[in-house]
Every structure is written in structure tokens, then in C-alpha cells.
Amino acid sequence: MGDEFEFAVLIIYHSQSGASAQLAASSWSGAIEHNPAVRIERAADVGVFDVIQSTGLLLVCAENSGRLSGGMKDFLDRVFYPLIDRRCSLPYTLLISAGNDGRGAVAEAQRILSGIPFTEALEPQIIRGDPDQRGLDSAQELGAGFATGLQMGIF
């Protein structure tokens, strides 16, 4: 990793009940095994300067009422134009916690992120229901795959 970056993988999450937070933590544990420069933050605590110092974003949140969770939408609303102004274009991937669907949240995130434009590095993962071991393992694998790809410069 280049010295100009404080960290490579920035995992940003929003969680109300803790489900998305659990998934985010698992993705972090997968990512950190492959790339030491991983940072995990709540969506409310980060802004455009955190994003431009990273080399890739892993966004983790719930689907609420067929859309992105409000906390994640607030983050994207805050950074959308500042990132366009800075011509910041990064790879990203999505990890969505959902009751029984999740596709609305994925579609909304893809629409917003493609407008910056960010590029989707890996297939979005939707984990339905309370995260069980299988869901946590999927989140860990996503984090590992994303961190490895960034480390190898393939995204």
C-alpha cells in the first residue's frame, strides 16, 4: 500500500438493532487478515475526508421500508457532491442486512454510488434474518475478498 493512504479499506456501517453492526464486525475480521490497513466506522462519524483517504469502501446497513437505512442514506447525501467535486472514484462493495428482501437497498445504493461514480468491485451480499454463523461467515468472506482485491490492486 502507498504511504499516502492512512488506511485502505474503510468499512462504514449503520445499525439500529445490532444486526448490521455484527455483519460489519465480521467483514472487518475477514478484511484485517488480508490487509492491515482497515478502518471501521459508524456512518454518522465519517465524512468526505475519511472517504478520500481510503482506497475502497465496504458499506454495511439494513434495508428499511424497501430503501437504504436512513443513517446510510444520510452519509451518502453528505458526501455525494463533495466527492464528485473532488473527482473521487473508488471501488466499493455492499453488505445488506434485511428481514426478507434487501434488493431495494442494493438498488438504491448502486444508483447513488454509480453517480459519483464509484465502481462495484464485488457482488453485493444480502444477509436475510438475524445473522447466524453462515451469515457472519459470508460477511467475513466478503471483507476478506474485498481487502485482498484492494491489496493486489485488482479493483
Ligand X SMILES: Cc1cc2nc3c(=O)[nH]c(=O)nc-3n(C[C@H](O)[C@H](O)[C@H](O)COP(=O)(O)O)c2cc1C
Asked if residue 125 binds ligand X (CB under 6 A), the reply is no
- Strands 125-128 and 67-68, how do they pair? unpaired
Using CB under 6 A as the binding rule, the residues of this chain from 3 to 62 that contact ligand X are: 15-21, 62
Name which position in 47, 99, 115, 117 contacts ligand X (CB under 6 A): 99
Q: Using the minimum distance from each CB to ligand X, give the nearer residue, 21 or 38.
A: 21
Write down the least CB distance from residue 67 to ligand X, Å.
7
Q: Contact, 15 vs 62, CB < 8 A? A: yes
152/48 Cα distance (integer angstroms)? 25
Does 69 sit near ligand X (CB under 6 A)? yes
Instruction: Select from 6, 77, 101, 123 the one that contacts ligand X (CB under 6 A).
Output: 101
Question: In angstroms, rounded to a whole number, what is the distance separating the alpha carbons of residues 5 and 76?
Answer: 21
Between residues 9 and 21, which has the closer beta carbon with respect to ligand X?
Answer: 21
Q: Look-up: residue for cell 476478506?
A: 144
Q: Quick one: the chain helix, strand, coil %, rounded to 5? A: 45, 25, 30
97 binds ligand X, rule: CB under 6 A: yes
The yes or no reply on residue 66 touching ligand X (CB under 6 A) is: yes
User: How many residues of this chain bind ligand X (CB under 6 A)?
Assistant: 19
117 binds ligand X (CB under 6 A): no
Q: Residue type at 42?
A: R
φ, ψ at 79 (rounded to 5°): -100, -15
Q: Which residues bind ligand X (CB under 6 A)?
A: 15-21, 62-66, 69, 97-102
